[in-house]
Amino acid sequence: MSRPLVIVGDTLLDIDLAGRAERLSPDAPVPVVSEPVSHPRPGGAGLAALMAAHDGSEVVLVTALADDEAAGQLRSLLRGVRVVALARGGATPVKQRIRAQGQTLLRLDTGGGGDVGPMTPEAAEALRSAAAILVADYGTGTVDAPGVRDELTRLASRTPIVWDPHPRGGAPVPGVRLVTPNDKEAALFASAIDAPRAASPAAGEGHLAAARRHADVLLQHWGAHGVAVTLGARGALLSSGAGTPSVAPAPQVTCIDPCGAGDRFAVTAATSLGSGRLPGEAVQDAVEAAAAYVAAGGPASLTDSDTTAAATPHPGETERERIRREGGVIVATGGCFDLLHAGHVATLRAARRLGDHLVVCLNSDESVRRLKGPSRPLVPVEDRARVLRALEPVDEVVIFDEDTPVEVLRRIRPAVWAKGGDYAGSDVPEAPVLEEWGGQAVALPYLEGRSTTALVELALSQGRHPLQTAMTGDTR
């Protein structure tokens, strides 16, 4: 974007007190959190602004700040963000979470309340100069300050506005480009607007049908151009009130800390719209960004501070590295997987049950040709990898060009190397390299009568192309 992203809304101070809980208190059935370390960060609109700055965007935050120590701490934490402050009476809202081993045990809320002063000329100018505006209304007064909603209403027709609603906040102004409630918020808002229409019309209604129905209620009442209902691990549904809604599925990731995922979604959607992308493209961008954010550790991914929570990832580490660091078992298996059959699936399922992360070492096309002959593989490596990644037991696919997986095993360093049952009782060629780090080769149960080579030979003997036989399932 050539102009800034302007975020307007309520900022609070989030503090994680992270320690270790290894025993219960003798005077009450509660955990004792020892040696907690304080990790402060901006919350609410401030967290959204920090995310945008972390992306490298030019960011202006229009927010109400009190004259107290917490507000001063917020200003110092908002690195890379230009803060345009409205006056706030009362104390800065502060939320403290007591955490241990990556879990929140207790939250303490203080501050908030007090009147917010009117919009200043500097704030009005910031809004008018925006490439896109994100409204993060947590209901503590910034958006309802005198003049703010009026200015947002005037700008809605020419500036993309993404409105991230909150149960305690107000309704979006008419004409905003996109509203981004989660599924629970959408149901709550729709019920308050039109309870009969928001109620489920039939037992067993699916989550997408419910999200569409709630979105349409909100679209009609709020006068927005689009409503994107976020569905957590399922992605997001975008409705514009006419025709079939679009769905952006989320990539499968391990969620370490979901705090701020909605902010991450809204920030990316606003940035994408401000860069000229269409709403459907912006929602897809936002889903992918939110998934990457929670997989990287949530709020911890935005700071350089270390935490004592075991689940917090190290900067730049992969999911495999995180699992190994936390004491999990890495399992690897390998093969060509040219025509996937029931024997392959049985092997992969058995291998995955041996540990916490399964890596499939996949022969490249050149490697397969050297091993199987010039007529193989039947399926190119990109397609073979895509099919494997879609299988439930498979966590990761690594392609190698060599004739044997020895070098890729040295890079992965699995604790277990799983081979097919035909190796039971015989020496596994990769066993010596596994001894370098204490890994163990094992043979898995063999599903009799399943073989890609046999499938190919059968198809050729019947005068049919192997791919035709595989797709029809006809092995007569």
Contact 107, 97 (CB under 8 A): yes
Q: Smallest Cα–Cα separation from 176: which of 138, 139, 141, 228? A: 228
148-155 vs 121-128: helix crossing angle, rounded to 10: 20
What's the burial of 5, exposed, middle or buried (CB within 10 Å: 0-12/13-18/19+)? buried
Structure tokens at 399: 């392609």
Domains and CATH numbers, the chain: 5-302 (3.40.1190.20), 319-472 (3.40.50.620)
Q: What is the pLDDT of residue 98?
A: 92
Q: What is the pLDDT of residue 197?
A: 77
Q: What is the pLDDT of residue 103?
A: 80
Q: What is the pLDDT of residue 231?
A: 92
Catalytic: 16?
no
Q: What is the pLDDT of residue 113?
A: 76
**pLDDT at 469 > cutoff 80:** no
pLDDT tens, residue by residue, 79-102: 899 999 999 988 889 999 898 877
Distance CA 15, CA 56 (A): 24
With cut-offs at 50, 70 and 90, classify the pLDDT of residue 215.
very high
Sequence-separated (6 or more) residues with CB below 8 Å from residue 318: none
Q: What is the pLDDT of residue 28?
A: 86
Of the listed ranges 321-330, 332-341, 448-457, the one predicted with least confidence: 448-457
- Tokens 């679209």 correspond to 219
Contact 102, 310 (CB under 8 A): yes
Contact 400, 337 (CB under 8 A): no
Distance CA 310, CA 293 (A): 17
Largest CA distance in the chain: 85
- More confident site: 420 or 76: 76
Of the CA atoms within 13 Å of residue 172, those in its CB half-sphere come to 31
Active-site choice (14, 137, 164, 263): 263
Q: What is the pLDDT of residue 293?
A: 85
pLDDT tens, residue by residue, 129-158: 999 999 999 988 899 999 999 999 999 999
**pLDDT at 331 > cutoff 90:** yes
Average pLDDT, the chain: 85
Average pLDDT over residues 356-364: 94
Cα 221–chain centre separation? 30
With cut-offs at 50, 70 and 90, classify the pLDDT of residue 310.
very low
Cα 382–chain centre separation? 24
Answering whether pTM is above 0.75, one says no
**pLDDT at 306 > cutoff 50:** no
- More confident site: 47 or 250: 47
With cut-offs at 50, 70 and 90, classify the pLDDT of residue 7.
very high
